[in-house]
Structures are given as structure tokens and as C-alpha cells.
Amino acid sequence: MYYKTLKGFPEHFLWGASTSAYQIEGAYNEDGKGMSVQDIYETPEGITDFKAASDHYHHMREDVKLMADLGMKAYRFSIAWTRVIPDGDGDVNAEGIKFYNDLINELVSYDIVPVVTMYHFDLPLKLHKKGGWGNRKTIDAFERYAKILFENFGDRVKYWLTINEQNVMINHPNAMNPGRIPSKKELYQQCHHMFLAGAKATLLCHKMCEGGKIGPAPNITAVYPEKCNPADVIAADNWESIRCWMYLDMAVYGRYNSLAWSYLAEKGFTPVMEDGDMEILKKAKPDFLGVNYYATATVSASKNDGMDCQPRNGDQQVMIGEEGVYRAGDNPYLEKTEYGWMVDSVGLRVTLRRIYDRYQLPLLITENGLGASDVLNEDGTVHDPYRIVYLERHFKQAQLAITDGVDLIGYCPWSFMDLVSTHQGYGKRYGFVYVNRDEADLKDMGRIKKDSFYWYHQVIITNGAILD
Ligand code: BG6
């Protein structure tokens, strides 16, 4: 749809940026922090692990000052469960609580709204060893952890995100399950338990945090049929329901998406449930939806010939395909990043429209950004025009989605600062702020504003008017 004039970004729009604890904090074993599954994750040869990351733990005040310089209205970050409760379900670590209290107070002192993810891929190792999300006791541990977070931070944190990218953890489970990749049947059992954990935290938030808003943060994308062949459309519907709607239908309506449920039944993946599970899931209602968006997916019809599923060394945006369900397709209309991710700014508009149309809840973009091998020049500058172009196009599509009627309350690009990418370490950088280290050499960990930092500052202070 074309409009004569576009709506502006709403007043109080939450222009922000995102990070996650294990990808920036470092200090993986300091001040009482326990080990998480990410602390023992074996990264490929030549790629850094997560132990030192961007050393945010020791640069916290300097980093928040940079957020204020950028003009950020909101900061989406995650709390490391193992910093607060080192073994996941035992004693509380006072130093962990202090770190996050200091961070939240620092943000509030600059009028930056904290948006807190409770769990971003970093399950406590001790819980993992006891069966992780396959064990129903992890639901209780998460509920108790949520209670501790609300007790300690709920007076100042009014935006909560339960679980980051539950759908990625189910579809791309490698990094979250050290030792052994669970079967799909096991993964969907984990998934059911995560749904319950998220629901219980949602109910608790509404009970404990006055004015607190809470929602999930899945990785959502529109799925396109490769051709207008109806068989491709069926495949696109299949994958969109299994990859996306199953997670949001459960969060919002407390029910399994019917198409996804038929898939689970056909494949023998339906989870074991206990009496009362569905009542809990139905009762918990999110106040808003976090949306992590990077790229659309394009699929073609399944041929069910043993070739639908392509073994790939893929990451979370790379489709694998599944026998009888869908086959990964190509989209000749889109460019790819240097890391092979599709770039589809219009797809952001499509995705936001579809989500809002289904759920009619406020949406907050909790991740979107461009990973690139940025270079620090000898004169101390970092020129990243490609990131500016990428974000400018996506911001414009967000504005179009707002004009379409989507209730978009904020936009937090990934990421505020360079961090350890989940698969490519520091080779693939996302930040507005460059962190001076590389894979092996920690250098001085200096913070350097990239060109995109200055540009994004202008976007924020004009509330998007410079995009016109
Ligand atoms: C999202 C995750 O899937 O994608 C982030 O929530 C991740 O943790 C981001 O960093 C970008 O992916 P990658 O693999 O480039 O780090």
C-alpha cells in the first residue's frame, strides 16, 4: 500500500539497542558467578569463547555513559541466571544482584528504560546436568529465579522479556545442549516446559511488579513461498506455523497452533503434559511481544524424497528443511550479507503486519541488525556505511508498518556494542560501538564510536525525522 504521507514514530518511541549477558559481560567466573552451558561451549577453531567477551562487567559505567551519549531511550539486555543463582536453583549470589542493581540504577539515572530478558541461551550448567529443560524441575527453578528478579529489580524494571528465541533453541539446539544434541521429540518436550516457565513468570510478574509489562522474544519472520505454486504456499504455511506461530499462539492464546500440533502428532513429537498445564498456559497473558527479526525465509514444497532436509553447517537464519514439511528455497530478489543472511527490509514490514494482525498487541523490536567485519582504522575511526544503509532501510519499513496500523512501541537494534556473535566471534560485529579486541588478542578493550553511532544519534534525537 502506498500512502500520501507517513505517520511519524510515536512520541516516547523506545529507540534503543540490545545485548545479551554471555555475549558481552565476560568475567565468567568472577564474584561468585556459576557456569552456564555457554561457558563450556566449544567454539570452532580460531573463534573466541565467551569467557572475556567485551568485558562489560568491568566497563559497565563507561558503557552506560556511551548509551546516554547515543541518546538511547531503552536498553534491552539480559541477566545471567548464573550470576544471580550460580547453580540455577540454590543460593542467591549477592554480588550478582549488586551488579544488576548498579546497572539498572545507572540506566535509570540517564532516563534509559531497562528492558530485561530473563534468559538468553545461558542455562545454568548444573541444571543442564540435571536434565535441563527436559526436566520439569527446571520450570520451578525458572519460576523461583523470576521471583528473585521481580523482588530485587521489579521496582525499576517495567519491561520484562521471558525467554529469548525459544524457537531458535528448539530448531537450532547445538549451542544450548553441550554433550549431546537432543532428539526432536526431546526438544519439543523441552519446548513445552519452556512454555510453562514463560507462562509462570508472566503470571508472577503481574502479581509482583506494579505496572510491569512482560512478553516473550521469539525470532519471527514471514515465510515466503518460492513460487506462486499452491504447493509452495502450503510449505510456507507449514514452516511459518512450526517456526513462528506455534510460539506466539502459545504465548498469547495459551494453545498449540493447530497446524503445528498436526505436525507434532504426525512426526511423533507431541510432548507429555500434566493435568493443569493448559490452564496455566491459558491464564498467562503477555502485555507486549518482543520481535527479533533478521531475515525472511523462502521455501518450496516438500518433495518427500529424502532430500528435503539438507545437512548444513547453518546458524539460526539458515533453513534446514524437513521431510514432508518444506524444502529450503531461494529468493532471487534479495541480497545476502557477507555471512550469507538474506537482507529483506520490506520483509520486516511484512512480518510486523502479520504479527500485529494475528495478536493485536504492542510490538517491540528486540533485535535486528547487520553483522559485518568492521575495521578499526589507524586514525581511530570505524566506517560502517553498510550498517547505516541496512538500518535506514529497516527503520523506514518500520515507519511504513506503523502507518499500516501496527502498534510498534520501540526498536532495539542488535547490538549496542560489539559482542561475541553466536557462531563467528568478533569476526562478525554488530555494534554501534566498536570493541577493540579480536578473537585471540584482548588488546585494550577500548570503546570506539562507529560512524553508525553518530548517525543513529541523529535518528533518535529527531525521532526518526531524518529518515524522510
Ligand atoms: C539472535 C540471538 O538469534 O541473533 C543473538 O538472539 C545473536 O544472541 C543474534 O547474537 C545474531 O546472530 P549471530 O549468530 O550473528 O551472533
Q: Could you write out the DSSP letters of every residue in 63-94?
A: HHHHHHHHT-SEEEEE--HHHHSTTSSS---H
Residue 123 domain-assigned? Answer: yes
Distance 82 CA to ligand 1 centre (A): 20
Distance 421 CA to ligand 1 centre (A): 6
Residue 468 domain-assigned? Answer: no
Which residue owns the Cα nearest ligand 1 atom 15? 421
- The domain tally of the chain equals 1
Residue 4 domain-assigned? Answer: no
Annotation marks residue 367 as catalytic: yes
Residue 417 domain-assigned? Answer: yes
In this structure, is the dihedral angle defined by the CA atoms of residues 416, 420, 423 and 428, taken in order, positive or negative?
Answer: positive
Q: What is the CATH number of the domain that holds 294?
A: 3.20.20.80
Its domain, for residue 208, covers 12-460
Residue 319 domain-assigned? Answer: yes
Residue 82 and residue 286: Cα distance in Å, rounded? 25
Looking at residue 313, its pLDDT comes to 56
Distance 304 CA to ligand 1 centre (A): 31
Residue 463 and residue 6: Cα distance in Å, rounded? 14
pLDDT tens over the chain, length 468 residues: 899 999 999 999 999 999 999 999 999 999 999 999 999 988 889 999 999 999 999 999 999 999 999 999 999 999 999 999 999 999 999 999 999 999 999 999 999 999 999 999 999 999 999 999 999 999 999 999 999 999 999 999 999 999 999 999 999 998 889 889 999 999 999 999 999 999 999 999 999 999 999 999 999 999 999 999 999 999 999 999 999 999 999 999 999 999 999 999 999 999 999 999 999 999 999 999 999 999 999 999 999 998 888 765 567 777 789 999 999 999 999 999 998 899 999 999 999 999 999 999 999 999 999 999 999 999 999 999 999 999 999 999 999 999 999 999 999 999 999 999 998 999 999 999 999 999 999 999 999 999 999 999 999 999 999 998
**Segment holding 279, helix H or strand E:** helix 277-283
In this structure, is the dihedral angle defined by the CA atoms of residues 225, 227, 231 and 233, taken in order, positive or negative?
Answer: positive
Residue 1 domain-assigned? Answer: no
